[in-house]
Amino acid sequence: MNSSDAEEVISKAIVKSIKDRFNSFDTPAKFDLFTAEVETHPMEDPRSGRDCPRIDIKIEGAAIKPRPQFTFEAKRLKKGSHGIGDYTGEAGLGCFLRCQYAENFPSAGMLAYIQDENSLPHWKSELERKFRENQSLDLRKPLQELQVLLDLPNEWFSEHARSKESKEHPAIGIFHIFLDCWSL
């Protein structure tokens, strides 16, 4: 990978790494019941072909039914061409807030592929600014730092109301993961 790769190229490389890990003999057996997919269509969406949106990365479990899913939407962040508005816009975070993705699940993930020399703190600051200024993002819980995986130091969590009424999940928790794709 390099710092100018398209979002789809990076997402595909991530899913390949996840699948390689799932297939490794030293991976704990509890991960045998998970699959990872790239560029899948949401089953709830009636559209097909080019009109149908594509989920960037989906992790699905098979231990229980209905099968739990964790959906990631990915966006490139690069000064001058791919700003924070892409990340928080209709084709980014908006996919979750409108229930286009992960409608039946309480949480989902946003991946930021940082592709310029701007530091990760710069883009976190931009995200915080956007949350303060854009009321349509309907922030319920402010951005807070968390550590799910030790190998991923740039993780945050926020909670938002959904624009579509959902009896089971009126709000959605979003895990934000910023990946440094500049210094690859």
Give the model's pLDDT for residue 170: 86
Our measurement of the distance from residue 103's CA atom to the centroid of its chain's CA atoms, rounded to an integer in Å, reads 14
Q: Give the DSSP H or E segment for 131.
A: helix 120-133
SS3 content of the chain, % helix, strand, coil (to 5): 30, 30, 40
Instruction: Tell me the β-bridge partners of 78.
Output: 82
DSSP state of 136: G
Residue 12 has what pLDDT?
96
Distance CA 89, CA 95 (A): 8
Q: 111: pLDDT confidence band, cut at 50, 70 and 90?
A: very high
**What pLDDT, on a 0 to 100 scale, did the predictor assign at position 52?**
77
Residue closest to 164 by CA, chosen among 100, 109, 110: 100
Cα 35 to Cα 154: distance, rounded to the nearest angstrom: 24
Mean pLDDT of the chain: 90
171-180/69-77 β-pairing: unpaired
**What 8-state DSSP symbol labels residue 135?**
G
Per-residue confidence at 82, pLDDT binned at 50, 70, 90? very high
Residue 19 has pLDDT above 80, yes or no: yes
Proportion of the chain above pLDDT 70, given as a percent:
96
- Please name the residue that has the structure tokens 């231990």: 63
Between vectors from CA 64 to CA 63 and to CA 65, what angle results, nearest 5°?
140
Q: How distant is the alpha carbon of residue 154 from its chain centre?
A: 13
Position 43 scores a pLDDT of: 72
- At residue 38, the pLDDT reads 95
